[in-house]
Amino acid sequence: MKKRIAVFASGTGSNTINIINYFSEHPSIEVSCVLSNNKSAPVLKSASDLGIISYYFDKKMIEDENGKVSEILDEIQPDIIVLAGFLWKFPSHLIQKHTNIINIHPALLPKYGGKGMYGANVHRAVLDNKEKESGITIHRVNPIYDDGTIIFQERLQITPEDTIESLQQKIHALEHEHFPKVIEQLLEENTH
């Protein structure tokens, strides 16, 4: 029986697609489904094209303890839930029920976390504060935005030439390189 990953995403889903591709030939781990709170998110079609079951849900479906999202997760029984560019706060009832939930953040937490701190907003704040470095943080999810235990961080130097776009590209490259490996490591640790 393969270990199952459920991925939540809100947008284009470059991290999600990267994770799907990384595990597509994996002997013991698979991406079981992709869920999005955005009906027109490109990630839904991309995942579907790669043969992954994709679901759209609205606020009520995720916040209701017996709603569609709970039903899907009960059916799939994921070994890990991965938030990959998922912009809503994850409901407490799901955090209590599923203890293995991780998120990726495009900065070095605890700095530049919290409500509204995603995508270009994060990179703009980092550059506005003349930071010398930024990076990625992979952390456990708890009921507070970007507050869970840090599992992994990778740093990069910011150059004077960096713009929001160039920093975003560098951060994406780090995410794509490390996120699937960290997921794999977490799932393989749980098997021994």
Q: What count of residues does the chain have?
A: 192
The model's pTM is 0.95
Residues 124-142 pLDDT 10s: 999 999 999 999 999 999 9
105 is catalytic: yes
The token duo for 20 is 């799907």
User: What percent of the chain is predicted at pLDDT more than 90?
Assistant: 91
CATH of the domain at 168: 3.40.50.170
Residue partners of 134: CB distance under 8 A and separation at least 6? 106, 107, 108, 123, 126, 155, 156, 158, 167, 171
Please state the domain count of the chain. Answer: 1
The residue segments making up the domain with residue 177 are 3-189
pLDDT, averaged across the chain = 95
- Catalytic residue selected from 26, 93, 105, 139: 105
User: Quick one: pLDDT band at residue 82, thresholds 50, 70, 90?
Assistant: very high
> What is residue 87's predicted lDDT score, i.e. its pLDDT?
87
Does position 164 have pLDDT exceeding 70, yes or no?
yes
> What is residue 116's predicted lDDT score, i.e. its pLDDT?
87
> What is residue 188's predicted lDDT score, i.e. its pLDDT?
92
**66-75 contact pairs (CB < 8 A, 24+):** 69/35, 69/94, 70/94, 70/97, 72/6, 72/33, 72/35, 73/6, 73/97, 73/98
Residues 31-53 pLDDT 10s: 999 999 999 999 999 999 999 99
